[in-house]
C-alpha cells in the first residue's frame, strides 16, 4: 500500500483538471499530478536502493517551479486581456 498516497494525489490532480473551469484550478491540478509523480519516484527508490529517484524528484521540482512561473506569467497576461480567468474564453483572446 505504499503507492496509495501517490495514487490519492493523482486522483485529486485529475479531479482538479476535469472539474475546475478557472486557470488556477488547471494549474493546481497539474502541480498535484507532478507531486504524485514525485512521490511515486521517491517510493520507487526504496525498492531499487539507488539515489536516482531522489535526483529525478529534484529535477522534477525544478521543472515544476519553472512551469508554475511561466504559467502564472501567461495567466496574468490572459487576465489583462479578458478580465477573466475562465479558460474556455481563450478563443476570444486569439480573436482580439
Partner 1 sequence: MSEPFDSIGFIFLLLTGLGLAFSRTMIGFLFSFFMGLVGVASFFLYLQMPYLAAIQLVFYVGGVFLLFIFALFSTVEDKEIPTWKNHLLNLAQQVRANVWTIIFLLGLVLFVSPYLTLGSDAGNSRVYSEDIQRMGDEFLKNSVLSFEFSSLILLSALVSALFILKKMQKSFGEKT
Which residues of the shown chain bind partner 1 in the complex (CB under 8 A)? Answer: 1-2, 4-5, 8-9, 12, 15-16, 22, 24-25, 27-28, 31-32, 35, 38-39, 42-43, 45-46, 51-52, 54-55, 57-59, 61-66, 68-70, 72-77, 79-81, 83-85, 96
Minimum Å gap between C-beta 91 and partner 1 is 16
Three-class DSSP category at 23: helix
CA 60, CA 65: separation in Å to the nearest integer?
A: 8
Q: How far is the CB of 65 from partner 1 (least distance, A)?
A: 6
Q: Say how many C-beta atoms besides its own lie within 10 A of residue 13's C-beta.
A: 20
Q: 27 is written with which cell numbers?
A: 494549474
Amino acid at each position: 500500500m505504499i503507492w496509495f498516497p501517490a495514487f490519492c494525489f493523482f486522483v485529486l490532480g485529475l479531479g482538479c483538471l476535469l472539474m475546475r473551469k478557472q486557470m488556477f484550478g488547471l494549474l493546481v491540478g497539474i502541480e498535484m499530478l507532478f507531486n504524485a509523480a514525485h512521490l511515486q519516484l521517491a517510493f520507487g527508490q526504496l525498492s531499487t536502493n539507488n539515489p536516482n529517484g531522489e535526483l529525478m524528484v529534484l529535477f522534477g521540482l525544478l521543472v515544476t517551479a519553472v512551469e508554475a512561473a511561466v504559467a502564472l506569467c501567461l495567466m496574468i497576461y490572459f487576465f489583462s486581456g479578458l478580465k477573466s480567468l475562465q479558460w474556455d474564453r481563450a478563443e476570444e483572446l486569439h480573436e482580439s
